[in-house]
Structure 1
Amino acid sequence: MKEFHIAKNDSGQRLNKFLEKAVPRLPGGMMHKYCRLKRIKLNGKRAEPSCCLQEGDVLQLYINDEFFSVPDGAQAFRTIAQPRVSVLYEDENILLADKAPGMVVHTDDRGDTDTLIAHIQAHLYQSGAWDPDDELSFVPALCNRIDRGTGGIVIAAKTAEALRVLNGKIKNRELSKKYLCIVHGHPSPASGRMDGFLRKDEKLGLVTVHKTRVPGAKTAVTLYRTLAVRDGLALVECELITGRTHQIRAHMAAAGHPLLGDGKYGLNELNRKFGEKSQALYSYKLRFDFTTDSGGLAYLNGRAFTVRAVPFVQKYFPGYRIP
């Protein structure tokens, strides 16, 4: 028998959600069965998978020890001696990391455990901001993600409350995100709005842009403005009104201005001329624009954070000062 005492970071969530994280090797069907058989009890009584856990609750699990083993990669942070995290901002609730292009944010299909979240967890563990041995189900987690080849700001939540609040804010579009990119050619007009419908092919991992709605497509809106032009390239700022997969890359390519280095949506012939193999795209500015209750994160409302050094800007537009 194993006993869990529910603390603040684990309260407020459904029992089944808690068990998915605290006992990840326990299959969902078996978890429901064990609840029915009273092999999972809450405060000494039969527990329903849908019940909401409260601080101070005691959960008792009469299940085999094999279910408590840790999945491969879950402890990757413990193997990192020197975390590679460029911290843009950190407080007791959140951490803003400036992700380097080429780093994957989560373990992907390749099984890579050298991830941004692992390095963030290692940083928090080594600094004493997080002790995994004091937690039951919560681990610091990312609230947003960006592609391996894209650099820029990624938000990590250091508490369960911060994770819940920020996930809601992102869903409600109460965060403003701006990107810098370099495109081939000079957009005309120099600034504007791109509307369309984006459809993702899951097998190919490719997004197509449509002018009218097609089955499976989602609305996509991108604002853009040209900041500088040089040698057949343009430095462009994009603001995501919607946040779809590969939105900026697909939108700019559909407009006839693929991103420099983008082998998926661009032209390799043009990219080879510059020797670039990864898209010139950077999430450089984040602003918190809360319009609904933000709980303990109210102090972030109205604050903006900017990455001042973007490698491809310095390379292709030397002397340009990021706004």
Structure 2
Amino acid sequence: MKQFTATPNDEGVRLSRFVQSVTQGLPTSLLYKSFRNKRIKVNGKKAAPDARLAAGDLIELYINDEFFPPETAPARASKPAKPARPRQPKVQVIYEDENIAVLYKPAHLLCHSDRTGDANLVDAFTQYLTDKGEYTPGGENRFAPALCNRLDRGTEGLVIAAKNYASLRDMNEIIRTDRLKKEYYTITVGIPPRGRFTAWWEHDEKTNKVSIHAHSDQAGRRKQIITDVDVLRTAGPYALCKIGLITGRTHQIRAHLAYLGRPVLGDIKYGNRKANERAGAKTQALCAVRVSFLDIPEENTLHYLTGKVIKLKDPQIVRQFDALDKTKPAG
């Protein structure tokens, strides 16, 4: 039997979801059988799968130990444990309150950990909150600081992070209901047309590459994308553009601009290799520079963000374009 005490980050969570988050490899059939057989209790009483937890609730799980993650044994004093994670970079905080933070992610930094084991933004944010005393690793049943949106490894700019479960839940709802507007700066090879452009997007998961089409398909694999393009400045064959995402899909900006014949400078997946080499561009010139919160319902705990605009001051991409403007290489 395992016991857990619900924390404020478990407030309002469905009991079935809580059990799934603290167990490992528990079949769904066995989960609901445990509910029927009164092997899952809250405050000493039988509870239903859809019961909502409150902070301080005592959850008792009479489930075999094999379905719980193994407990980590303390390291011996004579053999200091090796660090489990790479050294994380210092977090650059653009905005912060008691619920969320808006962070700057430099190009080449991962948002989340992957097979390479490289440093990543979510672990750096977790370390930041730990150092401030706002988060205690191992002190929560199921919640860990999380990112609400992500950027490709080669893209720099603003990423929203949640400090608690309620903020993560409600920020995800804001994003899902299109109450958050995101703007990007990019440098294109060639000067794109201004306006709003619609196309159809298809993702190949094996290659992690997308293709853009003029029409939908009968199989329903293609999804509509809408991208706003505004040209801010030009320098020879290059343009500094502001991009607004009406939809937000994997590689949307990079693939859509390439489809329009004006790829992102430095993009090795969808871009112009020769133009990249001429400009000496080794990473994609794409930066998330601004997030604007629209009308957020009062029942949302982040309602106070309505109308708030958070922007990146003096983005590196503008200085990159200024350098191109001085040289104006031939096309």
> Structure 2 length as normaliser, TM-score?
0.86
- Deviation, structure 1 residue 158: 0.6
Aligned residue in 2 for 1:104: 110
Greater Cα shift, 28-37 or 136-145: 28-37
Q: Can you list the C-alpha shifts for 1:1-53, whole angstroms capped at 9, x where unaligned? A: 32112232102111232123333454545434433443332232334433322
Counterparts in 2 of 1:292 and 1:70: CA distance versus 1, 3 Å = farther
Structure 2 gaps, min length 5: 73-81, 326-331
Q: Distance in 2 between matches of 1:298 and 1:155?
A: 16
Match of 2:167 among 144, 149, 162: 162
Aligned residue in 1 for 2:278: 273
Correspondences of 1:47-196 after superposition (within 5 Å): 47-65=47-65, 67-69=68-70, 79=85, 83-108=89-114, 110-112=115-117, 114-188=119-193, 191-196=194-199
Q: Distance in 2 between matches of 1:219 and 1:128?
A: 44
- Deviation, structure 1 residue 154: 0.5
Check if 1:213 corresponds to 2:216: yes
Q: Kindly indicate whether the alpha-carbon contact (under 8 Å) linking 2:296 and 2:302 is maintained by their aligned counterparts in 1.
A: no
Aligned residue in 2 for 1:197: 200
Q: Distance in 1 between matches of 2:180 and 2:263?
A: 26
Correspondences of 1:18-29 after superposition (within 5 Å): 18-24=18-24, 26-29=26-29
Aligned length: 313
Where in structure 1 do 4 or more consecutive aligned residues deviate above 4 Å? 24-30, 76-83
Query: Helix, strand or coil for the counterpart of 1:165?
Result: helix
Greater Rg by CA: 2
- Deviation, structure 1 residue 95: 0.7
* Letter paired with 1:59: I
- Deviation, structure 1 residue 259: 0.4
Structure 1 gaps, min length 5: none
Q: Kindly indicate whether the alpha-carbon contact (under 8 Å) linking 1:144 and 1:154 is maintained by their aligned counterparts in 2.
A: yes
Q: Can you list the C-alpha shifts for 1:132-157, whole angstroms capped at 9, x where unaligned? A: 34322111111111111111111011
- Deviation, structure 1 residue 81: 6.1
Q: Distance in 2 between matches of 1:137 and 1:127?
A: 20
Q: Alignment identity in percent?
A: 39
Q: Kindly indicate whether the alpha-carbon contact (under 8 Å) linking 1:181 and 1:237 is maintained by their aligned counterparts in 2.
A: yes
Counterparts in 2 of 1:289 and 1:134: CA distance versus 1, 3 Å = same
Query: Helix, strand or coil for the counterpart of 2:301?
Result: helix
Query: Helix, strand or coil for the counterpart of 1:167?
Result: helix
Correspondences of 1:299-314 after superposition (within 5 Å): 299-314=304-319
Q: CA RMSD in A?
A: 2.4
Query: Helix, strand or coil for the counterpart of 1:296?
Result: coil
> Structure 1 length as normaliser, TM-score?
0.88
Q: Distance in 2 between matches of 1:16 and 1:277?
A: 47
